[in-house]
A and B are shown apart, each in its own frame.
Chain A
Amino acid sequence: MILEELKQYIGGVDPPHVRQVEKGAIRRYADAVGDDNPLYSDEEHARKSRYGGIIAPPGFFGHPVGSVPTLESVMGLMAAVVNAGFYRILDGGMAFEFLGPVRPGDILIASPKVADIAEKEGKRGKMIICSFETTYINQNNDLVAKSFQKVICR
């Protein structure tokens, strides 16, 4: 019953999010990961590399980040899941497909979509699994990445 109600959200899209990729944000991200790859911070090194300049670590798509759909996002799906009594929400996993580099100064358009909603019987009862798919397109209209995320609600 609940599942049928939630399934109507499949195919729903969020308004595209505009994300600015800033040099300082790239540096803070790499620092938070503990990744000292000079491609992310050393201008001179990066200029001599095949990228010709600094790039963002794969998986960083600028600010505002929030790649986990928020409760307000994706056409109210997450709010509906919570209202249905599944208030324990966990990020289940993520997949990225990288199609081109992300560089400081880029402006990315992130377009999330509800790819699937499924029900599963878990160890501790019923779970709803929401799958989201997001595309990232830069200012040159290049598709630079896709992400696929699973959110587990129980």
Chain B
Amino acid sequence: MAKKQTCWEDVETGTELPVLPKVAHSLMSVKWAGAVAAFNPHMYEDAFAKSQGSKGPILHGQLKLAWLVQLVTSWMGEEGTLKKISCEYRGIDYPRLMKTMNEPQEGETWLCKGKVTKKYIEAGEHRVDLEIGVENGKGEITTPGSATVTLPSRCC
């Protein structure tokens, strides 16, 4: 399925990216752990997580970063290039537990958000800087970050 292409001329400082909602749950954490071979028991073992000072198993920071990569790359389109991305894991997120084998319990939904903070030309490239972040169910940004992308110019 082809995604819409974003052009440099289409965006201004303040332009917001479409929000990417995510429901983190323990099954998702396990899947992520397997996909990246990140097997810290802090993310799946209750007692160990508590010994580390958390209320229970926490969501992998790098999964939240991967969500932010998805937020930015799906917005910029295939002709865009993600040059830099970063985030801080400031707030801890707790994935929902499972209700059935594949359905999570009711609970929090996370929102990945972003907006353009700067639009400029550098090294002959049409670039924009973005402020991005993952927001928890209480509306707090637990994972603030930034990104730089190159967009095609006058593609539309």
Contact = CB atoms under 8 A, between A and B. Distances in A.
B36 A29 contact: yes
Contacts of A36: 1
Interface in B32-68: 32, 34-38, 40, 52-53, 60-63, 65-67
Interface in A36-53: 36-39, 45, 49-50
B63 A33 contact: yes
Contacts of A63: 37
B154 interface: no
B111 to A, nearest CB: 14
Interface stretch (B6-14, B74-82, B117-125, B132-140): B74-82
Contact of B79 (A31, A50, A57, A95): A50
B88 interface: yes
Nearest to B78: A49
B37 A64 contact: yes
B70 to A, nearest CB: 4
Q: For the complex, would chain B's binding face be called helix, strand, loop or mixed by DSSP majority?
A: mixed
B149 to A, nearest CB: 10
Interface residues of B, number: 39
Interface residues of A, number: 38
Interface stretch (A7-15, A86-94, A105-113): A86-94
Contact of B62 (A25, A38, A67, A150): A67
A154 B76 CA distance: 38
Contacts of B4: none
A93 B52 contact: no
Contacts of A148: 86
B116 interface: no
Contacts of B1: 36, 38
12 contacts: A28-B34, A32-B32, A33-B32, A33-B63, A33-B66, A34-B28, A35-B69, A36-B1, A90-B52, A93-B61, A95-B86, A97-B84
Given A88-B53, A95-B86, 7 more contacts: A29-B36, A32-B34, A33-B32, A45-B2, A57-B69, A67-B62, A90-B52
